[in-house]
Structure 1
Amino acid sequence: MNAGRRIKYYVCAFAVLVMVAGTIYWRPAASPELTAARDVSPAESAGDTRSTMPVVQKEATSLPADPVSSADRPLPVSMLISPSQYDTEIDGRLHEDGNGNLIVDVGFRDLFDYFFSALGEKTAEQIAADMEQYIDGALSPRAAEQARALLKMFIAYNRDLAEYTTANNTDVYNLHGRALVDYLKAYQAYLADTRMRHFGREYSDLFFGSEEKYQAYTIARMELGLTDLPDEERKRQIEELRSQLPEKQQEIIRNHERMNEFMSREQAWQDEGVSGEELYDRRLANYGYDAAQRMAALDESNRRWQSRLNDFFQEVDQISATDWPEADKKDLIEGIKVSSFSETERLRVNVIERYRQKNNNSQN
């Protein structure tokens, strides 16, 4: 693989994800809930907030499933998440210790990312208010106050990312070679500095340390792609870089590479028009008997599933094209869905329905 193609490949793994992360957050807008965080500098905001936070604790004591009575909850959880999240599980959990202090772990960042992944369906201010209500319903008052302070730190941090991205509107897709690597290095340095200003060393390492190690590895690997080293030497140096990562990340990378290799091979066979017995024989030779059998069974299962989906949505389209009352259409479609799919399958169908509806709306 030549240097240019290697660079494009690694951009997909790092550059796009890192750069888009800042742009998904909001532009500043007037809001009573967020004014205080906006009226002070990021450093002041982070400093004031951290003074109210407990130290990072390694051992988490999970809260009971329902730590407060339903009467204390401002809204049920289903009212706090966005429609696209109805069939999902909330990512991240909140914990407190026996003294009522928030146990700060990476689960809080997962929770923040989960709520704010719905940005666009709701405004940033609405999501922040929803998350505050979720916090109040999940924690005792003292821990909830600490969690709200941490939430403000994340809000201020992500606002800074959005403002930086707007002010430095570089088209990363048009950067190549050394220019791309230098840009990513500068951006990574900015991220590290901004995280330190908002979170301090301990929280910055806790929330972002793992991904920073992976991003540094990715940039170093991209730099190797710019060299004229022989393939074997380049591979050796990449392995050396990888060995410096935590074992969990190394295993993730290995799994991704195996999956990429598998997908590339399968796509090449599909492009060749390989199917049936020949496809089975190739899988048998490359993956072994058990894997070839499982893949054949999966292919058949997917074929049947796709056929059932096609039949269902054909009926949906026919019903939707009638001039019947909307309520009657909805009831009839729901009845067909219940009779055609299991409860678990209906969760998948619901997601596909929303995707189809979104596409239809964008085309109209």
Structure 2
Amino acid sequence: MATRSLALILGAAAVAAVIAWGYAQDEPTAEAPPAAALGRAEGFSLMGAAPSPLRSLGPALARSVADVDHALFVEGSLRDASLDGDWGVDGQGRLQPSLALRRRFDQLLTTLGEVNLDELSSWLLDRTLRDVGPTASAEIMAVWARYITLQEQRYTTEARLDDPQTWTQALAERQRARREILGPAWAEAFYREEEDALRRQAERAGPAGSSGRAAEPTWLHPDPQLSADELHQRRVARYGAEAAERLRAEDEAEARWQARLAQAREQVRALQQAPHLSEPQRQEAVEGWITSHFDAHEQLRVRVLLGL
């Protein structure tokens, strides 16, 4: 996809994804079943209790702004892409709270792993100074710092897909954190859309505190009992045309990724079992195959998923 907006869909996301790279989690207790992963399309924004370890992602480097720009926009995941959203600066050069700025932040955060947080922040400072000037740049960087703090916030309530009561409980905890960290105006601008969507979902699923009533189907994922067209129409009815198109695009991207991953798994297994290769040669062959079939942004994810 040319852009990587996470405001509605996390290929969760997003968050999406950034997603298969793992989150720092405590050991689960016997009384706490695992929470289902939920996407922003229906109002859930990374509703798990554990924060994303943003400061630990990416290479331990301190590259120049020019090198970071080249790594992302020439060789990396943002090549041939335009930035999502905008800086949220009005005609008088004043920064205004807007969802557009969060979309830009979210897109940039998908690059962690290719670059580290310090490198990304330096790039962002340089870009905003050039685009909007020092006053608005300083304001944007202050919001960025608070947004990073929010992404690393730890929560005690997890939202479970099969328990609508936990949705409102998790939302209430996150609303408090968002308003405390971002401030009311920025929290409203960044999250009102998905918070409203979550409330609508909870209302459709049943009143808070009800029991014995299963949540309605959400159709977030492909359903083998439905054709692609039927699934799309149900998504349009539930989420609207824009979100349905994003979900369809995510389905197609995920199908392509799974096909590539299956091919990689088969090829790696064959190389690891090749009788004519020594163990060092097998390792070298596996690494060579991965680096020739996946870009730098994907290679870490592939190695983790294949247990390499």
TM-score, normalized by length of structure 1? Answer: 0.44
- In terms of fraction of residues, the more helix-rich structure is 1
Q: Between Structure 1 and Structure 2, whose CA radius of gyration is higher? A: 1
